[in-house]
């Protein structure tokens, strides 16, 4: 799980004033052959927003596969998340695509 919060130290107009939180749980189920199922929703909170506009809470998951390009392992993943809670002007869906080149020691 990844948890963080970032906030401004000033409220000047140049940098803005913000206080945002993030929670990202990770769950994977691995199959033979490098295939896996995954869910890693990015839950966010804008602590300065009104309570009804504060949270974005996605639900969903995706599939991935690890394979080799020659000797180089590559991790690919595609996932989709529906935002069950979102601010009025927030998106309904998130789609995430990943290609990760891994350089083992």
This prediction has a pTM of 0.86
In a domain, 83, yes or no: yes
In a domain, 36, yes or no: yes
Residue 34 gets the label, from left (phi > 0), alpha (psi -120 to 50) or beta, of left
Count of structural domains, the chain? 1
pLDDT at 42 over 70: yes
Tell me the average pLDDT across 40-52: 96
| Residue numbers of the domain that contains 48 | 25-101
In a domain, 31, yes or no: yes
Residue 36 binned pLDDT confidence (cut-offs 50, 70, 90): very high
In a domain, 19, yes or no: no
How confident is the prediction for the chain on average, in pLDDT? 94
pLDDT computed for residue 10 by the predictor: 75
Distance separating alpha carbons of residues 20 and 94, to the nearest angstrom: 19
Tell me the average pLDDT across 38-50: 96
Using CB atoms within 10 Å of the CB of residue 42, give its burial: 0 to 12 exposed, 13 to 18 middle, 19+ buried: middle
């Amino acid at each position: 799980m990844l948890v963080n919060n970032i906030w401004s130290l000033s409220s000047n107009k140049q940098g803005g004033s913000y206080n945002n939180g993030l929670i990202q749980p990770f769950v994977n189920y691995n199959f033979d052959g490098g295939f896996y199922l995954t869910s890693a929703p990015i839950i966010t909170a804008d602590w300065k927003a009104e309570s009804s506009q504060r949270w974005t809470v996605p639900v969903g998951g995706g599939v991935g596969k690890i394979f080799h390009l020659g000797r180089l392992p590559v991790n690919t993943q595609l996932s989709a998340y529906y935002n069950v809670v979102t601010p009025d002007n927030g998106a309904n869906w998130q789609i995430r695509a990943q290609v990760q080149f891994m350089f083992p020691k």
